[in-house]
Structure 1
Amino acid sequence: MINILDLTKEELKQWMVENGESKFRGEQVIGWIYKKVFNFDDMKNIPSSLKEKLKNNFSFSIPEIVEKYVSKDERTIKYLLKLRDNYIIEAVLMKYDYGNTVCLSTQVGCRMGCKFCASTIGGRLRNLSNGEILSEILVMEKDCNERVSNIVLMGTGEPFDNYDNVMKFIKEVNAEYGLNIGQRHITVSTCGIVPKIIDFANEKTQVTLAISLHSTTDENRKKIMPIANKYSIEELLEACRYYIKVTNRRITFEYSLVKGVNDSIEQAKELSLLLKGMLCHVNLIPVNEVKESGFVRATEKDIEGFRKVLENNGIEATVRKEMGGDINAACGQLRRDYVEKMRDKDVWVR
């Protein structure tokens, strides 16, 4: 069956017409969905005959909350969600003074192979549909009874490896009839799939683009991120310059600081030269330690020293505020732990 969340309002209205119903019935059904009503029988102003048609043609692919972790300060909630085919994904809700931000997954697993990321261990199992990405927000909003105002696509998966579904999700979540979250409140993070960065530039959205850079040389970047074997740093930065030219929007470069790998003062100077003159911001990330990688986070002293070098060279840089450290909120870690635990109990999940 078709996941009804995968349809836009216009697509659902068209379905109504093709099935002998009035267009406005599509608007009514969409309205119930965004009121968090996920059962056709509970849609009170829908005729019984139409409810039967809907039940025979559509399903609600709403993930089940299988585990939920709340940080001690209650500002971070991490969800383990089970999809209808028993695949497990993660999503995080973070409460800031300016509103609630959610970090969403776009794939089950990831095939990019970045060494510091637990999400990529085991590879990509499948893409999420646009409706499945949307359902992550709906489930979290319904659970905590609070509205989401900001979205980051930085959870499990590489968004540009699921480009079409991600773009449809962005348009849908931005729609006035739905969650109506402004594009300027959405951030998409990519490890650097150059052709898709060009495509994204040509979309001319107001979405913030974040690039996972993490190194200043191709040789070093290849050790951390396999994508560097396909696209050089120069190719990546050229695509970023094109993006800035077309959109006139600032890019965020993400730089995870790993002790003894990419955290030296010399590397900070090299990064300053690479980014000189670009409309950009650097987000320094103390790396989350993943046991399989052997990487250790840089010291606070080295992190601050790195930041000061960038700042002294005219590159705006901030250190990412860590949230949810006490609930193991680093991407991919909880999912892996849960899957292994269920396998020990002979329960099939992925």
Structure 2
Amino acid sequence: MALSLDLTVPASARPRVPAAVLAAPLAPAGEKPSLIGLDRDGLAEALASIGVPEKQRRMRASQLWHWLYVRGVASFDAMNNVSRDMKTALADAFTLEAPEIVSEQISVDGTRKWLFRFPARGAGRPVEIETVYIPEEGRGTLCVSSQVGCTLTCSFCHTGTQRLVRNLEPSEIVGQVIAARQRLGDFPDAATPAGAIVPSEGRLVSNVVMMGMGEPLYNFDNVRQALAVASDGDGLSLSKRRITLSTSGVVPMIPKTGAEMGVMLAISLHAVRDDLRDVLVPINKKYPLDELLAACRAYPGLSNARRITFEYVMLKGINDSLADARELVRLLKGIPAKINLIPFNPWPGSPYECSDWDQIERFADLVNDAGYASPIRTPRGRDIFAACGQLKSETERMKKSERLAADAVAQA
């Protein structure tokens, strides 16, 4: 039997939305906070803010949880076991809006890239980020962003050329997962778009990688809450073994990541010498290789079953020698690890070239012979600038293209 709540709450009786309703502190006057991204306690507090009696909150929070994270509904009207008055009270105070899809691009290989737009939340104007879906046989991986822009200025990364605007809220991080699943038909009663390339069976979004725009560990609290919601077994139910957080090496936060998130860890390494990594990944000047690798060796839960992934972009004549490969093996000795070799994905104005394929294979053979699983990550979505290191908001990409065109005219 469906449960319903007959509750009419006059506006004068509704207390203000509490700070724990996470979007509220940054929401401009008149902008409703989202329930997306809240955990059960946050949902209960949101219900309290509209006058739901304490003895009913736990049950009502469970109802909301189910509709948000199991059914993936986009409106309160779809909650058919919630009374009309309750729906009205919720809609007056909150929103369930997923990110606005500004554009969707589909690669020849089936990779999808969405340009999402979020409210300004103190940034002065609405902000944009990119999220990528990569379908493969047996799994579908969603590459999620944690910040609008980035502060790290890694020299091979297009995202690093966009200044940081702000952190994403838990609602905006979880919202990327929900929007992708809604669009792909990965919720009950939702339809997959005709012709979409998706896994032939199982979950269409089975894996999440925090490898999109931004440095997740510089937005630690919001990412932690978002991933706790995403990995809850009674909701979106993504296994922590299928969630990977990639960091450029924010060493003090690595132990906290293992202890408080418990997800798989990836290190954006890309060089085996401090002098080179200082250029490619400038955070290395603050946290050099010896400190970074010591933190990796001590990562909570590290084992052969929970290996750290070391990401290594292949740059022609820069970091792709066999001497580099041998030093990589030496550096990682004793760390349960795998190495992802990433052919460099070019972008306008980049100073680098991708290593020759024969050289990438020789590099991979040496690392594999040393006992590391080192797949060469085949570039996906290059034709729509959706590959590793290519993400950037469309507005910023257009600005850069215009600057490059102006420079070319000036030099002609």
The answer (yes or no) to whether the contact 1:201–1:242 under 8 Å persists in 2 is no
- CA offsets 1:77-110 (integer angstroms, 9 cap, x no match): 1111111332111111111111211111111111
Q: Does 1:82 align with 2:117?
A: yes
SS at match of 2:165: strand
Deviates more, 1:12-21 or 1:109-118: 12-21
Match of 1:247 in 2: 302
Q: C-alpha distance in 2, partners of 1:72/1:39?
A: 33
Offset from partner CA, 1:1-25 (integer Å, 9 cap, x none)? 3221131123212443562342222
Asked whether the equivalents of residues 275 and 315 of structure 1 are also in contact (C-alpha less than 8 Å), the reply is no
Give the stretch that moved more between structures: 210-219 or 113-122: 113-122
TM-score (norm 2): 0.78
SS of aligned partner of 1:321: coil
Q: AA paired with 2:234? A: Y
- What SS does the corresponding residue of 1:6 show, helix, strand or coil? coil
Check whether the contact 1:252–1:283 (CA below 8 A) recurs between aligned residues. Answer: yes
Please state how far the C-alpha of 1:199 moved relative to its aligned partner: 1.3
Q: Which residue of 1 aligns with 2:190?
A: none
Are 2:146 and 1:110 equivalent residues in the alignment?
no
1:13 aligns with 2:70: no
1:140 offset after TM fit, Å?
1.2
Look up the equivalent residue of 1:121 and give its one-letter code. T
TM-score (norm 1): 0.91
* Residue 274 (structure 2) aligned to one of 214, 218, 221: 218
Change in Cα spacing, 1:291 to 1:223, as seen in structure 2 (3 Å) is same
Aligned residues: 342
Conserved in 1, the CA contact under 8 Å of 2:156 and 2:389? no
Deviations 1:257-306 (A, max 9, x none): 11111011111111111112221111111111133331111110110111
Taking only the aligned residue pairs, the percentage that are identical comes to: 37
- C-alpha deviation, 1:68, in angstroms: 0.8
1:214 is displaced (CA, Å) by 0.5
The equivalent position to 1:70 in structure 2, one of 106, 114, 132, is 106
Residues 141/202 of structure 1: CA separation in 2 closer, same or farther (3 Å cut) = closer
Counterpart-to-counterpart distance in 2, 1:335 and 1:60: 26
Q: Which runs of 5+ in 2 are unaligned?
A: 1-31, 121-125, 187-203, 402-412
**Aligned-pair Cα RMSD in Å:** 2.2
Q: 185, 200, 204: which one pairs with 1:145?
A: 185
- Distance, in Å, in 2 between the alignment partners of 1:332 and 1:52 is 44
CA distance in 1, matches of 2:261, 2:162: 34
Amino acid at match of 2:41: E
Residues 1:272 and 2:307 are matched in the alignment: no
Shift of 1:341: 4.5
Paired AA for residue 26 in structure 1:
A
What is aligned with 2:35?
Answer: 4
Matches within 5 A, 1:159-178: 159-178=216-235
Q: Mark the CA change 1:334 to 1:255 in structure 2 (over 3 Å): closer, same or farther.
A: closer
Pair 1:202-2:259 in alignment: yes
Q: How far is the alpha carbon of 1:170 from its aligned partner?
A: 1.3
In the alignment, what sits opposite 2:13?
A: none
Shift of 1:201: 2.6
Report what 1:47 is aligned to.
83
**Structure 1 regions of 5+ residues with no counterpart?**
345-350
2:39 partner amino acid: T
Say if 1:119 and 1:331, in contact at 8 Å, map to a contact too.
no
Pick aligned residue for 1:231 from 287, 298, 316: 287
Question: What's 1:347 paired with?
Answer: none
Q: Deviations over 1:11-51 (max 9, x none)?
A: 21244356234222222222222323222234333223322
Cα displacement (A) at 1:61? 4.4
Residues 65-86 of structure 1: CA distance to partner in whole angstroms, max 9, x if unpaired?
111111223x311111111332
The structure richer in strand per residue is 1
Query: What is aligned with 1:156?
Result: 213
Q: Judging changes above 3 Å, is the alpha-carbon distance between structure 1 residues 227 and 339 closer, same or farther for their aligned structure 2 residues?
A: closer
Letter in 2 for 1:247: L
Mapping 1:181-192, distance limit 5 Å: 181-192=238-249
Greater CA radius of gyration, 1 or 2? 2
